[in-house]
Amino acid sequence: MDYRKTAQEILDHVGGSSNIISAAHCATRLRLVIADNQKADKSALENVDGVKGVFEASGQLQIILGTGTVNKVFDQFIDIAGITASSKAEAKEAAVQKQNWFMRAIKLLGDIFVPIIPAIVASGFLMGIMNSLDFMNANNFIHIDTSSSIYVFANLFSNTAYTFLQILIAFSAAKAFGANPYLGAVIGMIMINPSLQNAYSVATEGVQVTQSVFFGLYDIDMVGYQGHVIPVIIAVWVMSVLEKKLHKIVPEVLDLFVTPLLSVFITGYLTLAAIGPIFVWAENAVLYGIQWLLTLPLGLGSLVMGGLYAPTVVTGIHQMYTAIDLGQLAQYGATYWLPLASAANVAQGAAALAVGLKSRDKKVKSLALPSSLSAFMGITEPAIFGVNLRFFKPFIAGCIGGGCGALYASIVHLGAKGTGVTGIFGILLCLEQPVQYLIEMAIAVGVAFVISFIIYKDQKPASESANTGDIEEKNADVNCIEADQKEEMTKKPVRTTEG
């Protein structure tokens, strides 16, 4: 293979060096951020020697070349184009800047929630296990010594992440906004300070204390923000703006003392007096709307959302769903969104599995089979981008299967006691309704598999050979995509993003 020739042809088909904003690569893919997408000829790119596939994701044009090959082509590419290599993080940042404000906001939510998912998953799993043990113990299925240190400590650990969730969110949000994360954590602490009435007690005890604000202009309830997400993010954003402005105007000799003091005091006052009450109302309105949709008669709302879930993964909108999960957990004690996501994810896996089993092309099988396994574990990007979207009909089959599974979940009121994990392991969050969860999975998988198996047909060999690679390369590409999804998590220790 002539790596320089391949690099030159890729450059020609993406509009030349003047059309490139940044270039980077991962284990298997060349990642390009280009100024004008209309100048990129995807069909021509797919026929370049060595190219195994081409797709767009997160504002990047990603060209699959395979392990080992991508490094050599990349070196030639940047040499011919006369550009400087970018890191993967820099390429992602450049891609973000190309996106509209809505997609940037969605990306920001992902940056906030992805790092804290491991903590939520740990607590969610443990909470589900403890609830199941309590149920079995109360009904004499098993006998547990509830005074033992293991039981008492496990019970204590199970809700810790959710008890202090606002602090975790505030810390992560401050980092995402470019502010001091420890000041952000303080804002989170203010919002759940023990001096405020616990929000969970209001339903039974009523509001105990009110406080006049803005020199007697109006009164606010002195209630904490346990269970709330959006007010915390908005409060930390205000703090980040204020902190950055203060750094510019406060003399250096006073900056260390004055900036943190004013940032925390002003933001804290505005949060309790205005930001909190306003955005609690807005957040509750959104949650009520989602719950209304999911509880439409005969599960019709869930049918639609289950079918549309995979397309939101393609657009990246799914990064906001963790906020919905957390809001529902606080409001209803369970999230009815996560089972819907699980159905959609395993359905895409089943559609890819059908392709792998039906296809006579070994190269297609080598991509479809490991991709389907990844989707059953809750990571759908390899199956969606690598298989289902390319052949399209399997993608539609997956959407139909996801909708059917979500329909059943709505009818039986299937809810999860935590968030962060979908697919097979999602059952650990639904231990109070394990049979219903398994039935939902079976429906989603069965419908998607049958439809995909019926409607999928192999493409012509020439077309296939231009779009597929050997099994080692595809497995590496699966790992590369999964690494994108989990990058923030692995820096420290998802829904995954439920994608």
- The identity of residue 184, as a single letter, is G
Q: What are phi and psi of 2, to 5 degrees?
A: -90, 100
Please name the residue ranges forming H helices in 227-270.
Answer: 230-249, 252-270
Give the three-class secondary structure for 333: coil
Q: What is the dihedral of CA 74, 76, 81, 83, to 10 degrees?
A: 60
State the Cα–Cα distance between residues 204 and 228, nearest whole angstrom: 18
Which of the following is catalytic: 26, 404, 430, 480? 26
Identify the sign of the CA torsion 62, 67, 69, 74: positive
The answer to whether residue 26 is catalytic is yes
Please name the residue ranges forming H helices in 271-361.
Answer: 276-294, 300-315, 321-332, 337-358
Q: What are phi and psi of 165, to 5 degrees?
A: -60, -40
- 6 Cβ contact list (under 8 Å, min separation 6): 48, 49, 50, 51, 65, 73, 76
Can you read off the two tokens belonging to residue 419?
Answer: 């968030």
| Distances 39 to 9, 167, 370 between C-alpha atoms, Å | 14, 46, 33
Choose among 348, 345, 366: nearest CA to 357.
Answer: 366
Q: What residues form DSSP beta bridges with 133?
A: none
224 class by beta-carbon count within 10 Å (0-12 exposed, 13-18 middle, 19+ buried): buried
Residue 128 half-sphere exposure toward CB, CA atoms < 13 A = 25
- The identity of residue 91, as a single letter, is A
Give the other-Cβ count within 10 Å of 35's Cβ.
12
441 class by beta-carbon count within 10 Å (0-12 exposed, 13-18 middle, 19+ buried): buried
| Distances 117 to 161, 238, 421, 494 between C-alpha atoms, Å | 10, 24, 9, 6
Give the three-class secondary structure for 207: coil
State the Cα–Cα distance between residues 475 and 66, nearest whole angstrom: 10
- Residues involved in catalysis: 26
